[in-house]
Amino acid sequence: MATNFEIGSVVTGKVTGIQPYGAFVALDEETQGLVHISEITHGFVKDVSEHLTVGQEVKVKVLSVDENAGKISLSIRATEEPPAREPKAAAEKKTRRQGSVKPAATTEDTSGFNTLKDKLEEWIKQSERNDLIKK
């Protein structure tokens, strides 16, 4: 790397190659860096070639410089303002399903079912019977 690029500096470069994981950008005659797919634009990027073309001039921000490996990480989205979040209209907002709250039953209806209380009493009585105890 002939020219040292400082982290945080914004420079103009030219796209030299496009890969599924990002785009290579030439910063000068001898130096190029990679704009990872996640740093191309705000929002989701499925295909890099839908946003960039080889030969296109782009403004990039230097994210990191690894002089030993000769790698420079770049970002295009860091040079752009994030899109303003528009408030959702009342009709577009997701509505929450609200279940109806049923009032608690005040009378116990045990028709067809034994309650645990009744069963517990029955089990205690059975445990006290000597004729049911196996010897």
Q: Is residue 94 part of a domain?
A: no
- pTM equals 0.59
Q: Is residue 75 part of a domain?
A: yes
Q: Using CB atoms within 10 A of its CB, is residue 1 exposed (0-12), middle (13-18) or buried (19+)?
A: middle
Q: Is residue 54 part of a domain?
A: yes
Looking up residue 56, the CATH number of its domain turns out to be 2.40.50.140
What mean pLDDT comes out for the span 98-102? 68
Is the pLDDT confidence value at 13 over 80?
yes
Is the pLDDT confidence value at 57 over 90?
yes
Q: Is residue 93 part of a domain?
A: no
Classify 37 in phi/psi space as left (phi over 0), alpha (psi -120 to 50) or beta. Answer: alpha
* Total number of domains in the chain: 1
Q: Is residue 122 part of a domain?
A: no
More confident residue, 101 or 32: 32
Which range of residues forms the domain containing residue 14?
Answer: 10-79
